[in-house]
């Protein structure tokens, strides 16, 4: 009987080992610690929020909350770094750099550090095209219905999910008519835009298309896909924009999916471009932050590097819109984290929204091609 128990035990061990190799839960946990480290770093050192409050809120995210009992963090204000682990294991770190936000650190590798003079970039060469949308102070609502709406937006329910609203800005006819901010947040506080950052990538691509630097109908300029017989050379820039590449880069926010796993790499887009095709380009849609990250690398390479990308964004987009409180974050390879890592004040996010509300024209001058907004919304081919 002893040998049978031995065989059974060995079989269980073999199955568990196979499952570990197949699913790599260690990598999924590191995705979680990376996400928490990144959020804590940005919201502590860029937004100026309380790290314990940020940690508590972040631990409520789906997929992360199951690790809350073992998750620990450390903020080193002198070194301006944040470390996160689960019971001392699967550790991730993020570091803050003035003007450039936070970058995830992987092992002993050194991240690309931009050499731009960020303060000089923020000085517009001409008057912003978009007039001021509000004065210095907060704009209180004069309409009782707006006041009630803001009350509701900041009211917390008795049970989760909680709203945890940080800012609301209401704009009508190009002017702020009401706004409210959570404790610790001001009109200048930079807040993460999460996937609104994808729309910033869209705007940069639109400006580049207007200037003839790129086109959605062209094959994506990804060197890894241009080998002899590589079917991925059929992927166009527009497929990446619409997330219809057919690449195995689906995003489920499980920590196991390839789109989440890219955060474990210094060169996030370099990881993403290695994905194989699982469908013909244009025939299958799947939400994927990794495809936006590939677009961010295309922008970097087309414009000539990280510094030129940053200068282009300020010269062609932020300064014309009068956006001042903005931070673009980069991965360790020097590529914009285009999927979700731009921070801006709520008013600046509103300024950006006005660009799309007005079909890409600001102050009588066109920034985006006519019908670009309709095209990227999928209304027109």
Over residues 322-342, the mean pLDDT reads: 97
pLDDT digits (tens, 9 = 90+) for 249-261: 999 988 889 999 9
How far apart CA 329 and CA 333 sit, in angstroms, is: 11
pLDDT at 219 over 70: yes
What confidence score (pLDDT) does residue 172 get? 96
What confidence score (pLDDT) does residue 275 get? 98
Q: Name 351's Cβ contacts closer than 8 Å, sequence gap at least 6.
A: 130, 133, 321, 322, 323
pLDDT digits (tens, 9 = 90+) for 169-202: 999 999 999 999 999 999 999 999 999 999 999 9
pLDDT at 335 over 60: yes
How far apart CA 106 and CA 265 sit, in angstroms, is: 7
pLDDT digits (tens, 9 = 90+) for 140-167: 999 999 999 999 999 999 988 889 999 9
pLDDT at 11 over 90: no
Chain position carrying tokens 């509701």 = 152
What confidence score (pLDDT) does residue 22 get? 44
Q: Which range is least confidently modeled, 77-91, 194-208, 253-267?
A: 253-267
Confidence of residue 62 (pLDDT cuts 50, 70, 90): confident
What confidence score (pLDDT) does residue 7 get? 54
Reply yes or no: is the peptide bond before residue 161 cis, omega within 30 of 0: yes
Q: Report the relative pairing of strands 365-366 and 361-362 from DSSP bridges.
A: antiparallel
What confidence score (pLDDT) does residue 279 get? 98
What confidence score (pLDDT) does residue 246 get? 98
Three-state DSSP at 343 gives strand
What confidence score (pLDDT) does residue 317 get? 98
C-alpha closest to that of 97 among 74, 121, 73, 116: 116
pLDDT digits (tens, 9 = 90+) for 104-118: 999 888 999 999 999
Confidence of residue 23 (pLDDT cuts 50, 70, 90): low
What confidence score (pLDDT) does residue 5 get? 57
What confidence score (pLDDT) does residue 380 get? 52
Tell me the backbone φ, ψ of residue 302, rounded to 5 degrees: -70, -40
Over residues 54-70, the mean pLDDT reads: 90
What confidence score (pLDDT) does residue 10 get? 47
Alpha carbon 318 to chain centroid, angstroms: 17
pLDDT at 3 over 70: no
Confidence of residue 2 (pLDDT cuts 50, 70, 90): low
pLDDT at 18 over 60: no
Answer yes or no: are the C-beta atoms of 352 and 199 closer than 8 Å: yes
Answer yes or no: are the C-beta atoms of 217 and 281 closer than 8 Å: no
More confident residue, 281 or 17: 281
């Amino acid at each position: 009987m002893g040998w049978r128990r031995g065989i059974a035990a060995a079989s269980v061990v073999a199955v568990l080992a196979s499952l570990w190799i197949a699913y790599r839960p260690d990598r999924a946990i590191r995705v979680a610690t990376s996400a928490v480290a990144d959020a804590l770093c940005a919201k502590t050192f860029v937004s100026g929020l309380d790290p314990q409050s940020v940690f508590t809120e972040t631990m409520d995210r789906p997929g992360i909350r199951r690790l809350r009992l073992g998750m620990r963090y450390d903020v080193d204000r002198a070194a301006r770094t944040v470390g996160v682990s689960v019971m001392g294991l699967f550790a991730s770190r993020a570091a803050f750099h003035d003007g450039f936000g936070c970058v995830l650190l992987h092992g002993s590798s050194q991240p690309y550090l931009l050499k731009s003079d960020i303060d000089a970039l923020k000085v517009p060469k001409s008057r912003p095209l978009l007039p001021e949308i509000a004065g210095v102070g907060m704009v209180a609502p004069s309409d009782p219905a707006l006041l009630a709406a803001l009350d509701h937006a900041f009211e917390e329910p008795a049970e989760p999910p909680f709203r945890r609203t940080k800012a609301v800005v209401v704009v009508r006819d190009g002017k702020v008519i009401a706004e409210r901010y959570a404790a610790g947040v001001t009109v200048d506080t930079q807040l993460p835009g999460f996937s609104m950052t994808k729309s910033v990538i869209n705007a940069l691509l639109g400006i580049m298309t207007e200037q003839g630097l790129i086109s959605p109908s062209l094959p994506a300029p990804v060197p890894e896909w241009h080998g002899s017989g590589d079917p991925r050379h059929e992927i166009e820039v527009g497929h990446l924009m619409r997330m219809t590449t057919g690449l195995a880069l689906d995003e489920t926010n499980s920590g196991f999916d390839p789109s989440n796993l890219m955060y474990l790499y210094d060169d996030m887009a370099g990881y993403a471009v290695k994905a194989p095709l699982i469908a013909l380009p244009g025939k299958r849609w799947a939400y994927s932050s990794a495809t936006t990250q590939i677009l961010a690398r295309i922008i970097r390479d087309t414009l000539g590097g990280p510094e030129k990308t940053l200068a282009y964004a300020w010269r062609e987009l932020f300064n014309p819109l009068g956006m001042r409180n903005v931070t673009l974050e980069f991965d360790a390879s020097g590529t914009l984290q285009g999927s979700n890592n731009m921070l801006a004040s709520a008013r600046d996010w509103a300024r950006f929204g006005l660009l799309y509300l007005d079909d890409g024209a600001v102050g009588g001058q066109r920034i985006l091609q006519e019908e670009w907004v309709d095209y990227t919304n999928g209304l027109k081919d």
